[in-house]
Structure 1
């Protein structure tokens, strides 16, 4: 562990004995988040779809953090049945969940794909899967002393997002990055609405939101390469790749806002965290600017109600 990383972790609270669940944790931002949570003493559960990649991630994490208490669990956020099964299994293994990082994501597949429940893949995995997971884990989160902490992972892409209630599933018109932008705006609005409801209803949990800035991960590489079009479009893609290499930061640095939101004594419910450098693309974690499109409680309330109906998961 570098001195710089140790300096960052030294500003955070210890998580000894606590249980942390990280989705999409076998690579990229999720894996780096899991490493830092393990360094802080948490028992970390890597919740991802691929059993083989999960087992490899566990071995790699233990090599990197020899003191880690880490285990893997199968979770497919593209299946509401898998979300329910994961939650039921977890309830038999732990008495509470202290930290839940809703990190897993799908970015801009060139063709419209669907989850096993018939939702557009990005909206279904990035938003609805995490909405259902949080709802099903709510009893374990509320059992945590002081209340479990939920981290919704948004993106700078949320600035371009719109919640299209007349076509949430992109059935009438599918544009890869438009659907991705909508899903990340939904993540941000869900985190903010969860915080409002927790405070209003007296739920024993905390909700915060974070984004990684421009982090060089496989999700970004695959997403930027998923556009289809003419030569001009391909040149634009190449420019985006170069920009991310030059102006972006590592996955480890991109994960810092997630860990900060979960463990910093300065983190507050309902707040949004990200890199504090130019354009929030890179830099030390701190408060991020909330896009105007996310600051509409009526839209967030409607999105919540629609999500409850689509997933058949309630929070009360």
Structure 2
């Protein structure tokens, strides 16, 4: 009995440190793997290094009070542009505006109310812009709505994701197109996402009230690409370009609607692997600034370089049909500008 106890004691004396050592090695290996992945992400992250100025130009950035939109507004203000922050949350936007002005020393940064889920708000915003702004050089459709499971309708009775991400930008583009034409060459930039590959815009169900919003977010991103392709086709010869982009998977507030416990693991993944908003805005800034892209239109970009899209997202017949659906969904008026 004494011999057995001694053997067990000796066994534990050697096995416990061994287990601890193995655990430390596994943890160190995981941390090294995370560090390697983060380093790879940093090295392959497209950064727009051109320092071209935008003095004298006016830019509208939707959803500019946080995330990618905020950093896009900051970067363009740093380059001297007059930046109109078009935001639903005016109070939050004004706070961000003050910080942008303080950091860039550019006082030509203003906030205007815009709720892309409301056609009335879009019309009010567009009228305000046309009355108060002498020019518009760049329109950046950055704002996006994402929800996981909660189904919501807009004030116009349209599914909230599609209303905010697809139909709202469609209407806003129409209402501001004359100002963009007046100041051509000008640019329209649409923030899409490579997540579009997980879904498809359904031409037979443009107001999908019964489908999970998480799926519709992906579908709305394909719709963004289709919209851009058809818009570019219709704008040929006008001096206005239209391009879209994938900003990367970015750690922004758009993930805040992911419910627990999914949000717990997502938070860790966000911090370890996702781009920062500063990195996520780089392709948007490039498309707004780069003179080499002055005549490039109807393209999809990722990490500051042109990228390819799926067969579905580049289907021009589908893009044309979607456009016709959008015209009906936003209830264009006879006196609205046509494209």
TM-score normalised by length of structure 1: 0.86
| CA shift for structure 1 position 84 | 0.5
Match 1:273 to one of 293, 297, 301: 301
Equivalences for 1:119-138 in 2 at 5 Å?
Answer: 119-138=158-177
C-alpha displacement of 1:245: 2.5
> Where in structure 2 are the equivalents of 1:14-163 lying within 5 Å?
14-146=53-185, 148-163=186-201
Q: Quick check: which has more Rg, 1 or 2?
A: 2
Deviations along 1:109-159, one digit per CA (max 9) or x if unpaired, are 42110111111000000010000001100011101142x200011012111
Report the equivalent of 1:264: 290
| 1:199-236 superposed Cα distances (whole Å, 9 cap, x missing partner) | 1xx3331101112111111112x14x248xxxxxx46x
Question: Following TM superposition, by how much is the alpha carbon of 1:193 offset from its aligned partner in structure 2, in angstroms?
Answer: 1.1
Secondary structure (helix, strand or coil) at the match of 2:84 reads strand
8 A contact 1:41–1:68 mirrored in 2: no
Q: Which runs of 4+ in 1 moved over 6 A?
A: none
Q: Superposition RMSD on alpha carbons, in Å?
A: 1.9
Structure 1: gaps of 5 or more residues: 1-7, 228-233, 276-284
What is the total number of aligned residue pairs between the two structures?
A: 288
Give the secondary-structure state (helix, strand or coil) at the position aligned to 1:128: helix
Matched, 1:177 2:214: yes
Q: Give 2:202's match in structure 1, choosing from 154, 157, 164.
A: 164
Distance 1:136 1:88 in 2: 8
Rounded to whole Å, the distance in 2 between the matches of 1:143 and 1:226 is: 46
- State whether structure 2 residue 218 is matched by structure 1 residue 195: no
Contact 1:12 1:265 in 2 (8 A): no
Alignment partners' CA distance in 1, 2:51 and 2:162: 32
Q: Identify which range, 137-146 or 202-211, moves more after superposition.
A: 202-211
Task: Tell me the CA shift for residue 292 of structure 1.
Answer: 2.4
* Displacement after TM superposition at 1:64 (Å): 1.6
- 128-137 or 89-98, larger mean C-alpha shift: 89-98
- Equivalent position of 2:338 in the other structure: 315
